[in-house]
Structure 1
Amino acid sequence: MRKSEAKRLIDEAYEAWNAEEWLTAAGLLEQVLAHYPDEKRSAVWWYDAALAHKFLRNWAKAYELGREAAARAPRGEGDPAYWNLGIAATVQRDWATARAAWTGFGIELPDGEGEIRGRFGPACVRLDTGGEREVVWIDRLCPTRGRVMNVPVTGGRRFGEIVVHDGEPKGHRVVDGHEFPVFDELLLFEASDLPTLTVTVNAGEAADLDALITLFVEQNYGAEPASSLNVLCACCSEGTHEQERTVHAGAQSVSLAAPEPEARRLLDEWAGEALPGRSWSGLEPVA
């Protein structure tokens, strides 16, 4: 391929890129890279081709091209080629490559081999399942995976599932003066076997509801009162939102994540503590 032909294809690739025609853009870049893998601009072309496949959720190609991009990127300087490779390698469950990518980016990982199960702190993820969007809290296990710590109200989503999220925050939540990023979900990595249930509880005081939540959390289950949910428009959700805990007393629906027999046992334990105003009814599974 002549360099003049390569230049024409590169120009066409970025025209397609600007039109968000990711498959066309990646294909044209790959044509050029087959002949010019190590030109001065090749590292950028490898990166963009991998990124286009990331946008397409074609993780095998994002992984393949991402390895080439990272091989041409400086280590320890926060180069995004390593971050995108880390995501793609995680999705492919190639833990050795994922570990090498994160350390190449400049992130310190817990010692060991295989799957990364670290403590990277709390963050939020915007779940997206067929157009429904819900922001939930996660406990980050690695730079791109987190365990869902809320009981989602979005159909088909569950407490305890592990999701892969993007690296660029799309919004922030501020709690008690501390700011936490909101990432977009890329995919469901590991499902949870804990069913979602709903129950109507009556709590004489807010402290009674807190006691119920604590009872479930101590057993590694989840409890989410309706009064704790906030509805935001898309614009506000992707901005910086100060979040206050709003758990109220009185009768309300609570979403639970627990096996039904365990949920009944814990609800009976909570209601049977001889404190006035505590009761529950109508425990039902959520389809």
Structure 2
Amino acid sequence: MYIPPDHQQLFEEAERYWKLGDVYHAVKLHKRIIKLVPDWHPPYLALARIYHQRREWKPSFYYFKKTIAFLPDLREGWWCLGIAATALKKWRVARNVWTKFGLSNLPATPEGLRLTYDGTFEILWMTAVDPARAKILSIPHPASGFRFRDEVLYERKPIGHHIVARKRVPVYAEMGIFKRSHYRTYSCLIHDASAKQIQQLERLCYDARLGFEIWSNAARAMVIENPQAFPEYYGRSILPAEQSDAPHDHALIAIAAQNQVEVLHVLDAWEVIALGQYSDLRGY
């Protein structure tokens, strides 16, 4: 279709605003173009991308749906529509989209999830619920704003790989909270504990349905300087094995529970069973 040069110029100006980070004027101009040329798809797609990147799911859903009406074979449009539909709990639309991509059933094996906050990133374990939702299996650092068993939105396009036991596990980026879990995060120091004693504490937490993590071994680092890189993240598993019976001076342990009473019950039982000692119990 014929688009007058002045409308083309308006569109290019709107795109420049977006690249410069001026969301307000970019959105305003794109909406103005839609009023002038309602049958032209580029401003609909541009708005859909803006709202998707900003995680504003209602307008993202609206504009991707509009875009698909013009471009029914646009894979990006369908994919992002599925994410927005999931975020808005439009389950019928989401199921139709994931079926279209052949993603009705996903593997139940743990995969990597990257949280980015405060200038750092954290690599966690997650298990996929569907192509846009996952459940956190690790205990995130409190500064992240996430908790054990939170259900999060994520982008199912790998941004890197986590190297674990010489295997490459895909890592995905989170896109915000979907459903908050009832677990709270606690931490403590355990003293002069051998690997066996730590494993006993882990087993007690598992039996009590509590989360357990050794934060001393957490994989946290500065955000990569080159956002276009496709990095590989290495945990402590690439280091030489430590003596299993050698005690550690202290280890920072995280436990996820719904209340502190559950944590104290497990720690007190561990002191009796494993003859261990802990201190500095904190809740977040």
- The TM-score by the shorter chain falls in which range? 0.7 to 0.9
Displacement of 1:129 after TM fit? 4.7
Q: Which runs of 5+ in 1 are unaligned?
A: 111-117
Does structure 1 conserve the Cα–Cα contact (< 8 Å) formed by 2:193 and 2:276?
no
Aligned to 1:14: 15
Q: Which of 233, 239, 263 does residue 241 from structure 1 map onto?
A: 233
Displacement of 1:60 after TM fit? 1.4
Does structure 2 conserve the Cα–Cα contact (< 8 Å) formed by 1:199 and 1:253?
yes
Q: Percent identity?
A: 22
* Distance in 2 (alpha carbons) for counterparts of 1:226 and 1:33: 51
TM-score, length of structure 2 as denominator length: 0.80
SS of equivalent to 1:87: helix
Aligned to 1:199: 188
Measured against aligned partners, the alpha-carbon deviations of 1:84-117 in whole angstroms (never above 9, x if no partner) come to: 111211221211122222223x13315xxxxxxx
Q: Which runs of 5+ in 2 are unaligned?
A: none
Does structure 2 conserve the Cα–Cα contact (< 8 Å) formed by 1:122 and 1:139?
yes
Greater shift after overlay, 50-59 or 177-186?
177-186
* Distance in 2 (alpha carbons) for counterparts of 1:133 and 1:282: 28
Aligned to 2:29: 28
SS of equivalent to 1:108: coil
Aligned to 2:133: 145
One-letter amino acid matched to 1:260: Q
Across the two proteins, how many residue pairs are aligned to each other? 271
Q: Which aligned pairs between 1:79-94 and structure 2 lie closer than 5 A?
A: 79-94=75-90
Displacement of 1:235 after TM fit? 2.0
Q: Which aligned pairs between 1:161-240 and structure 2 lie closer than 5 A?
A: 161-202=150-191, 204-235=193-224, 239-240=231-232
Are residues 283 and 234 of structure 1, via their aligned partners in 2, closer, same or farther at CA, if it must alter by over 3 Å?
same
CA RMSD of aligned residues (A): 3.0
Does structure 2 conserve the Cα–Cα contact (< 8 Å) formed by 1:198 and 1:255?
yes
Are residues 73 and 206 of structure 1, via their aligned partners in 2, closer, same or farther at CA, if it must alter by over 3 Å?
farther
TM-score, length of structure 1 as denominator length: 0.80
Are residues 195 and 62 of structure 1, via their aligned partners in 2, closer, same or farther at CA, if it must alter by over 3 Å?
same
SS of equivalent to 1:272: helix
